RNA sequence: UCCUGAGUAGCUCAAUGGCAGAGCAUUCGGCUGUUAACCGAAGGGUUGUAGGUUCGAGUCCUACCUCAGGAGCCA
């Protein structure tokens, strides 16, 4: 077998090798046989292609080797690339030679079947499940989402400053944190957010972001929760809430645009309806929709360039607009407007439980609200009482926090949570005390308000929820190579 | 922590309280254009665990274990 004489190629690049004899290195994904004609399907990590092996066209050895080969055996195959209308990808491989690297034993066949399988079984075999085309496609899209997210900040003047993963204590209690011994008598906790630390780096560097894993020991068992997940968090000095909303719009728009540009075929394998994603990044039409008018009024305020003081002097934020110049506005609702929408829906019998004014929104509430729009919806100014201690009160109504939750469309729920931060030393100190948090542990955080405090804002986006939404998945466990959930830490 | 549901062949699932079954996978045989191929045959079982009711339990009862979906909480 002269399998190494032909040039190496990947399946994804076969269109460029039509008519040539090439070598592929990969695995046997499936095998069909029809008498003296074999149809092996090869995969190599970049895609799959069907090979054609007529008994009369190859040596007895090659035919028998392939005929008896087991699924997921590793191999090197040589063949000629030929366009064929019958092939899903448009190309087939006329096999000329094959070299088996390792044959999967017949008595221990590859456990992941092409037919249906249950969640428990698949998760128990996650290390092998990853080989299936759909799972591979999801991981490729995830990689692009992570790259595009970092790229958006990298090209807009942000400096990446990653916070520690081991932290001395919680920012909001320790019950949701993973605890571990830290030498002698100390305890350490796995971070649940780098926010407090990047507030410090933002005041050092202006515009910063962090990107890394975070951990929550919440006993949540839902399609939206992992105990270990990745979060990307920007934090910007001299940025107020309205600017933060624009930042989130530009950020999400860039990510979705990039995925649509680079992963059409992967999204097709995953089964994603890309029209829903096109709608997200479509330039905002001028309409009479009240929430759009509201958002334009607000952004007009915040865009006032040298206007009302240092608070609006966020540097270069115009650079975060889409390069095309076309504005992509997401609908914006205040907490009160969202509550009114839910009241209306309850009155019409569209939701089962009535939302109580002053309470946070539940999952069914978020699902209803986001289903009213084809773009992500931004809900701002929640009651301070149900939000974190570090959120700046709205000067117009101090009972409201200058915060925002971004809900993904199609019922995917919250993917971004952010706020303008308290910048007054005295207010922050009283908030820490009111929340019964240990003042000593927050001394460094209070220092940030003592030495040149400025208005500043930031948000965090959970990568897995964003991937689940963009890929149209029904559970975040498929968005990360090895999901960590309440009941599973294997493999 | 609470609510709901599910555990039967390697996988996905059937089985009125009365003989433990099918499809896929595996093995063997057939088929020169198959698209999760198809056709024929074979092997494959401590019905999650421990008790209980009954002439008889996969099926009914109790406890426990495991998993799933949801609530709360969050990204």
Domains of chain A as residue ranges with CATH = 11-102 (2.40.50.140), 133-478 (3.30.930.10)
Nearest nucleotide to A193, CA against C1' atoms: B75
Protein-covered nucleotides of chain B (CB closer than 7 Å) are 1-2, 10-13, 23-27, 30-38, 66-75
CA of A218 to C1' of B27 (A): 48
**Share of residues in chain A with pLDDT > 70 (%):** 89
CA of A112 to C1' of B52 (A): 40
CA distance A84 to A376: 41
Nearest nucleotide to A120, CA against C1' atoms: B67
CA of A487 to C1' of B48 (A): 17
Nearest nucleotide to A112, CA against C1' atoms: B11
Give Cα separations from A123 to A5, A31, A226, A292 (angstroms). Answer: 40, 25, 14, 43
CA of A464 to C1' of B42 (A): 47
Q: DSSP assignment, residue A434?
A: H
Q: DSSP assignment, residue A20?
A: -
**Cis upstream peptide for A170 (omega within 30°):** no
Per CA to C1' distance, which residue is closest to B37? A32
The pLDDT of residue A4: 58
Q: Is it the case that residue A349 has pLDDT exceeding 90? A: no
Nearest nucleotide to A87, CA against C1' atoms: B35
Nearest nucleotide to A468, CA against C1' atoms: B75
The answer to whether residues A202 and A208 touch, using CB atoms and an 8 Å cutoff, is: yes
Q: How confident is the model at residue A456 (pLDDT cuts 50, 70, 90)?
A: very high
The pLDDT of residue A242: 95
Q: How confident is the model at residue A284 (pLDDT cuts 50, 70, 90)?
A: confident
CA of A120 to C1' of B3 (A): 21
Nearest nucleotide to A110, CA against C1' atoms: B25
CA distance A95 to A21: 9
Q: How confident is the model at residue A288 (pLDDT cuts 50, 70, 90)?
A: very low
CA distance A185 to A435: 26
Query: For A252-277, what is the mean pLDDT?
Result: 94
Q: How confident is the model at residue A171 (pLDDT cuts 50, 70, 90)?
A: low
CA of A118 to C1' of B15 (A): 21
First to last CA, chain A: 38
Phi then psi for residue A45, to 5 deg, are 95, -20
Phi then psi for residue A23, to 5 deg, are -115, 135
The pLDDT of residue A326: 57
The answer to whether residues A458 and A195 touch, using CB atoms and an 8 Å cutoff, is: yes
CA of A103 to C1' of B75 (A): 43
Q: How confident is the model at residue A221 (pLDDT cuts 50, 70, 90)?
A: confident
Per CA to C1' distance, which residue is closest to B10? A111
Would you put residue A394 in left (φ > 0), alpha (ψ -120 to 50) or beta?
beta
CB atoms within 10 A of CB A438: 10
Mean pLDDT, chain A, whole residue set: 88
The pLDDT of residue A325: 46
- Tabulate helix, strand, coil % of chain A (nearest 5): 35, 25, 40
A116 or A99: which carries more pLDDT confidence? A99
The pLDDT of residue A335: 95
Q: Is A19 exposed, middle or buried (0-12, 13-18, 19+ CB in 10 A)?
A: exposed
Among A211-220, A241-250, A318-327, A464-473, whose mean pLDDT is lowest? A318-327
Residue matched to tokens 């790229």: A151
Q: How confident is the model at residue A490 (pLDDT cuts 50, 70, 90)?
A: confident
The continuous run of DSSP H or E covering A178 comes out as: none
A152: its two tokens? 């958006």
Per CA to C1' distance, which residue is closest to B31? A35
CA distance A25 to A27: 7
Among A89-98, A288-297, A366-375, whose mean pLDDT is lowest? A288-297
Q: What confidence tens digit (pLDDT) does each residue in A401-411 have?
A: 999 999 999 88
Query: For A129-153, what is the mean pLDDT?
Result: 96
A296 or A41: which carries more pLDDT confidence? A41
Q: How confident is the model at residue A487 (pLDDT cuts 50, 70, 90)?
A: confident
Q: Is it the case that residue A294 has pLDDT exceeding 50? A: no
Nearest nucleotide to A414, CA against C1' atoms: B75
Question: Considering only CA atoms, which of A271, A249, A247, A277 is closest in space to residue A470?
Answer: A277
With both helix axes pointing from N to C terminus, report the angle between A241-262 and A274-281 in degrees, rounded to the nearest 10: 140
Q: DSSP assignment, residue A227?
A: S
With both helix axes pointing from N to C terminus, report the angle between A290-303 and A241-262 in degrees, rounded to the nearest 10: 110
The answer to whether residues A458 and A202 touch, using CB atoms and an 8 Å cutoff, is: yes
DSSP A387-440: S-TTBPBPSS-TTBBSEEEEEETTTTEEEEEEEEBP--HHHHHHHHHHTT--GG
CA of A217 to C1' of B60 (A): 40
CA of A260 to C1' of B9 (A): 44
Q: Is A355 exposed, middle or buried (0-12, 13-18, 19+ CB in 10 A)?
A: buried
Nearest nucleotide to A125, CA against C1' atoms: B11
CA of A33 to C1' of B38 (A): 10
Q: Is the C-alpha dihedral spanning A386, A388, A389, A390 positive or negative?
A: negative
């Amino acid at each position: 077998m002269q399998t190494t004489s032909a040039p190496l190629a990947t399946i994804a690049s076969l269109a460029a090798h039509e008519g040539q004899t090439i070598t592929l290195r990969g695995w046997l994904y499936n095998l069909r046989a029809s008498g003296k004609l074999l149809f092996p399907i090869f995969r190599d990590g970049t895609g799959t292609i069907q090979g054609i092996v007529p008994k009369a066209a190859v040596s007895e050895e090659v035919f028998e080797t392939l005929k008896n080969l087991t699924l997921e055996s590793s191999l090197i195959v040589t063949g000629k690339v030929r366009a064929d209308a019958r092939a899903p990808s448009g190309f087939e491989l006329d096999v000329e030679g094959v070299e088996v690297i390792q044959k999967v034993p017949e008595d221990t066949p590859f456990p992941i079947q092409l037919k249906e399988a249950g969640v428990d079984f698949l998760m128990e075999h996650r290390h092998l499940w990853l080989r299936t085309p759909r799972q591979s496609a999801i991981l490729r899209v995830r990689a692009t989402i992570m790259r595009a997210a970092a790229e958006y900040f990298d090209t807009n003047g942000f400096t990446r400053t990653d916070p520690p993963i081991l932290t001395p204590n919680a920012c909001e209690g320790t019950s949701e944190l993973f605890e571990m011994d830290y030498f002698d008598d100390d305890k350490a906790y796995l971070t649940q957010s780098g926010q407090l630390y990047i507030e410090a780096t933002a005041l050092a560097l202006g515009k910063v972001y962090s990107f890394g894993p975070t951990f929550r020991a919440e006993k949540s068992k839902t399609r939206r929760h992992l105990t270990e997940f990745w979060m990307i968090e920007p934090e910007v000095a001299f940025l107020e809430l309205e600017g933060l909303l624009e930042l989130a719009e530009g950020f999400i728009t860039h990510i979705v645009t990039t995925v649509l540009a680079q992963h059409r075929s992967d999204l097709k394998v995953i089964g994603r309806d890309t029209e829903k994603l096109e709608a997200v990044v479509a330039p905002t039409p001028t309409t009479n929709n009240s929430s759009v008018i509201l958002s334009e009024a607000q952004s007009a305020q915040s865009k006032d360039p040298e206007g009302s003081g240092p608070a609006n002097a966020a540097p270069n934020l115009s650079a975060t607009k889409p390069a095309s110049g076309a504005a992509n506005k997401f609908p914006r609702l205040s907490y009160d407007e969202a509550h009114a929408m839910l009241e209306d829906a309850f009155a019409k019998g569209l939701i089962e439980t009535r939302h109580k004014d002053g309470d946070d929104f539940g999952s069914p509430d978020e699902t209803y609200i986001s289903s009213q729009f084809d773009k992500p919806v931004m809900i701002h100014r929640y009651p301070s009482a149900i939000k974190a201690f570090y959120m700046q009160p709205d000067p117009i109504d101090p009972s409201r926090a200058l915060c925002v939750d971004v809900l993904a469309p199609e019922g995917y729920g919250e993917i971004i949570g952010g706020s303008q931060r308290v910048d007054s030393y005295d207010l922050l100190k009283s908030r820490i005390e009111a929340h019964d948090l240990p003042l000593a542990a927050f001394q460094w955080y209070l220092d940030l308000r003592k030495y040149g405090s400025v208005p500043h804002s930031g948000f965090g986006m959970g990568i897995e929820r964003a991937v689940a939404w963009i890929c149209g998945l029904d559970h975040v466990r498929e968005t990360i190579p090895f999901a960590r959930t309440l009941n599973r830490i294997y493999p």
